[in-house]
């Protein structure tokens, strides 16, 4: 009875196991005999392998393997492994009834009796094709992404762990920063920062910002393996897993050094253009003011001269007149400096040997600067002559030396005057390529801050205090250098003194035979009376000129414009000479001169102006008279003309 109950219970339990196995459809569960022959087959096996039980039971399980796997003996090795090791587990491609393949996860367990005798094998297979396809797609995507990242050479793309250690390294990172993957992976990314940034904790700030804000972006200096620096644009993004847990950082760096340098050059060019335009505008204003001021001085100077000749010999009155004349001359000097800045002064260009000029100024400089200033002269190599106005260059150097003395104060110091010839190839300092001589004056003063340095050459800007300087000294030097085809350059830093440089082009081969200077000839004042036509649009200047000429014994006819002058000349053929202002509206003095030459080629014309616009009048047929002029200046210029032909006047 008990044996029957045990058999019944055992059969009942076997039935439940069979029902369980038969109910499973997601797994193929079947048995093999010791030789690998299939002895059972559940619905799950039929579902994804395609065989009905009557088609497969009694067949060898190797038919689920590919031809290549069977040839390699893989089915036999699977059973041997299960028998000897107690279990076989693997994944691989298997074949369905219709010949299609699926990716299978396989477990084979041996079935043993209580005595250890092998009865067969239990085989469980699961179809993981979808997972396999997804994994393969993910793997391909990851590989493509890896190849993409590795193929980028313009950006450094790499990963950091939570502590900031490098965990991946692409080709762009190696190119930009100089480290190979073997050298840098595992190292902290702070080694790319400058020592100054490391000292202030910038690497930690970057990671903390990325962690808290979700992104860190900045530009700054970074350091390569060789110690050189580059300007980097950096982005750091946090990396989180599916649960939102931070697992590291993605870091992208681009070398923007060239872009930064290009931007700086563009900004420098813009600043230079702005400065040039500003100085040009100031120059236009200054030149116009100086021109009008010259006319006023002309009238005052002429009137004072005439008054000086007519007043009684009263010492008190003559002293006042002399003081007024001296003040007028100082005003004339001021206008010359204004015109120099505006590049409108009349220059007397000649060959100038700069070392010789500087040596010749030694006594003058020593007396002017005083014993507290030690003057040192330095000349490097061969220095060829330049084309310049000797007196103006001498005045410019004296002005720079006085400024240097004032900058050094009562304590004095070393003042270095040097000269050297340079070959400029790429247009340094805004100059055209060519050979130049640079004369520099260097002091040991307190120097200038950037704001003062930027405004230093502006007219009327001075740091010397009220009444201690006109602010036109450096402006004059600037104008002289520019008008001579060169450039004036100031270099200064606070606490490091100032260097003022005058660059002037070396004399050209076709100018080499010009004399170094001209002999000073004192002309004889002519007393030969003439009929002179004076033309000027400024009534005050016109009257002053007429009075001075009449006082010299000449007959004077006046005109307020070029057209009026031509009308007079058309009716009066007895005119011996025309003196005309250059800066007149509608018709300039030069245009009037050309018109006179066409009508009366033999009639001499003298042009008066304080402007360097007379540089355009290079033909010596037109003598020039620089405003403001005195009666003696006028007489000396008149003496250059031949006496009038009276036969023509009488005929």
* Domain 349-511 CATH assignment equals 3.40.50.1110: no
- Phi/psi of residue 424, each to 5°? -95, 125
Interatomic CA distance for residues 116 and 136, integer angstroms? 42
- The pLDDT mean for the chain works out to 79
Q: How far is it, in rounded angstroms, from Cα 171 to Cα 165?
A: 18
Which regions of 272-406 does DSSP assign to beta strands (E)? 349-352, 373-380, 386-389
pLDDT at 106: 92
* Backbone torsions φ then ψ of 322, nearest 5 degrees: -65, -40
Strand, helix or coil at 335? helix
316 pLDDT more than 60: yes
Question: What is the Cα–Cα distance from 106 to 65, expressed in whole angstroms?
Answer: 12
pLDDT tens digits for 451-508?
777 777 665 556 554 444 445 567 777 777 777 788 888 888 888 889 989 888 898 7
CB 343 within 8 A of CB 280: no
At 47, the pLDDT band (50, 70, 90 cuts) reads confident
Would you state the pLDDT for residue 561?
92
| CATH architecture type of domain 531-650 | 3-Layer(aba) Sandwich (3.40)
Is the pLDDT score of 2 beyond 80?
no
468, 332 in Cβ contact below 8 A? no
Q: Of 622 and 309, which is predicted with more confidence? A: 309
Task: Name 421's bridge partners.
Answer: 437
Q: How many CB atoms lie within 10 A of CB 392?
A: 22
The answer to whether the beta carbons of residues 155 and 129 sit under 8 Å apart is: no
- Judge whether residue 518 has pLDDT over 60: no
At residue 633, does pLDDT exceed 70? yes
Place of tokens 């649960």: 243
pLDDT at position 208 over 80: yes
**Domains in the chain: boundaries:** 2-128, 152-255, 269-328, 349-511, 531-650
pLDDT, tens digit (0-9, with 9 covering 90-100), for 541-581: 888 888 888 888 899 999 999 999 999 999 988 998 999 98
**Percentage above 70 pLDDT, the chain:** 75
Report whether pLDDT(291) > 80.
Answer: no
20 pLDDT above the threshold of 60: no
Which stretch of 173-177, 288-292, 553-557, 631-635 has the lowest confidence by average pLDDT? 288-292
pLDDT score, position 455: 73
State residue 613's pLDDT score. Answer: 47
Residue 237 pLDDT greater than 80, yes or no: yes
For 420-468, the DSSP string reads EEEEESS-GGGPPSEEEEEEEEE--S----HHHHHHTTSTT--SS-TTS
Lowest mean pLDDT across 264-273, 357-366, 562-571: 264-273
54-92 pLDDT, tens digit each: 999 999 999 999 999 999 999 999 999 999 999 999 999
CA count, 13 A, side-chain hemisphere, 236: 25
CB atoms inside a 10 Å sphere around CB 80: 12
- Inform me whether the pLDDT recorded for 647 exceeds 50: no
Architecture of the structural domain at 2-128:
2-Layer Sandwich (3.30)
Same fold, 152-255 and 531-650: no
The tokens for 90 are 């693997």
* Digit-coded pLDDT (tens) for 375-426: 898 888 888 998 887 777 887 888 888 888 888 888 888 999 999 988 888 7
- Given a cut of 90, whether residue 217 has pLDDT beyond it is yes
Confidence category of residue 648, pLDDT binned at 50, 70, 90: very low
CA 315 to chain centre: 65
Is residue 10 over pLDDT 50?
no
Instruction: Please tell me the least confidently modeled range out of 161-175, 176-190, 399-413, 586-600.
Output: 399-413
Q: Which residue has the higher pLDDT, 455 or 9?
A: 455
> Cα(332)–Cα(240) distance, rounded to whole angstroms?
80
Q: Is the pLDDT of residue 238 over 90?
A: yes
Running DSSP on this structure, what letter comes out for residue 615?
A: G
Q: What percent of the chain has pLDDT over 90?
A: 28
- 152-255 maps to CATH 3.30.450.20: yes
Yes or no: say if 556 and 575 are a contact pair by the CB < 8 Å rule.
Answer: no
């Amino acid at each position: 009875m008990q044996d029957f109950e045990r058999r019944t219970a055992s059969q009942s339990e076997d039935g439940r196991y069979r029902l369980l196995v038969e109910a499973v459809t997601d797994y193929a569960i079947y048995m093999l005999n010791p030789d690998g022959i299939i002895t059972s087959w559940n619905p799950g096996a039929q579902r994804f392998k395609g065989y009905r039980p009557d088609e497969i039971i009694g067949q060898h399980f190797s038919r689920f393997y590919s031809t290549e796997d069977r040839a390699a003996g893989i089915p036999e090795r699977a059973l041997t492994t299960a028998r000897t090791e107690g279990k076989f587990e693997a994944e691989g491609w298997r074949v369905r009834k219709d010949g299609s393949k699926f990716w299978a996860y396989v477990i084979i367990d041996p079935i043993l009796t209580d005595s250890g005798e092998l009865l067969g094998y239990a085989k469980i297979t699961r179809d993981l094709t979808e997972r396999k396809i997804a994994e393969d797609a993910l793997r391909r995507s990851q590989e493509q992404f890896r190849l993409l990242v590795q193929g980028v050479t313009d950006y450094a793309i790499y990963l950091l762990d939570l502590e900031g250690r490098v965990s991946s390294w692409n080709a762009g990172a190696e190119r930009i920063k100089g480290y190979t993957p073997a050298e840098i992976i595992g190292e902290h990314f702070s080694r790319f920062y400058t020592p100054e940034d490391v000292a202030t904790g910038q690497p930690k700030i970057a990671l903390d910002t990325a962690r808290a804000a979700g992104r860190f972006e900045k530009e700054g200096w970074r350091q390569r393996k060789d110690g050189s620096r580059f300007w980097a644009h950096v982005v750091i993004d946090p990396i989180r897993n599916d649960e939102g847990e931070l697992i590291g950082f993605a870091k992208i760096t681009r070398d923007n050094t060239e872009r930064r340098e290009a931007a700086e050059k563009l900004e420098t060019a813009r600043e230079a253009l702005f400065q040039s335009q500003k100085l040009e505008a100031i120059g236009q204003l200054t030149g116009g003011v100086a021109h009008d001021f010259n006319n006023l001085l002309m009238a005052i100077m002429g009137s004072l001269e005439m008054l000086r000749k007519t007043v009684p010999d009263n010492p008190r009155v003559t002293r006042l007149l002399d003081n007024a004349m001296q003040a007028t001359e100082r005003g004339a000097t001021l206008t010359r400096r204004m015109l120099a800045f505006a590049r409108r002064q009349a220059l007397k260009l000649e060959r100038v040997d700069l070392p010789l000029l500087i040596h010749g100024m030694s006594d003058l400089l020593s007396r002017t600067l005083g014993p507290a200033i030690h003057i040192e002269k330095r000349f490097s190599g061969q220095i060829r002559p330049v084309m310049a106005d000797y007196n103006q260059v001498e005045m410019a150097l004296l002005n720079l030396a006085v400024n240097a003395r004032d900058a050094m104060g009562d304590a004095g110091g070393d003042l270095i005057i040097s000269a050297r010839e340079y070959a400029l190839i790429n247009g340094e300092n805004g100059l055209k390529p060519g050979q130049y001589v640079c004369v520099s004056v260097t002091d040991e003063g307190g120097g200038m801050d950037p704001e003062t340095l930027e405004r230093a050459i502006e007219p009327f800007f001075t740091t010397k205090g009220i009444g201690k300087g006109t602010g036109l000294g450096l402006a004059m030097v600037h104008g002289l250098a520019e008008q001579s085809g060169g450039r004036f350059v100031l270099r200064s830093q606070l606490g490091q003194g100032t260097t003022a440089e005058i660059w002037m082009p070396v004399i050209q081969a076709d100018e080499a035979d010009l004399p170094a200077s001209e002999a000073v000839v004192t002309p004889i004042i002519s007393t030969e009376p003439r009929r002179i036509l004076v033309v000027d649009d400024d009534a005050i200047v016109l009257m002053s000129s007429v009075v001075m000429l009449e006082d010299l014994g000449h007959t004077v006819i006046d005109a307020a414009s070029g057209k009026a002058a031509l009308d007079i000349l058309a009716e009066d053929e007895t005119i011996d000479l025309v003196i005309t202002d250059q800066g007149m509206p509608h018709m300039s003095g030069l245009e009037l001169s050309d018109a006179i030459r066409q009508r009366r080629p033999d009639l001499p014309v003298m042009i008066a102006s304080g402007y360097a616009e007379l540089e355009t009048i290079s033909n010596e047929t037109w003598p020039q008279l620089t405003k403001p002029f005195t009666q003696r200046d006028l007489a000396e210029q008149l003496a250059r003309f031949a006496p009038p032909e009276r036969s023509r006047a009488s005929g």
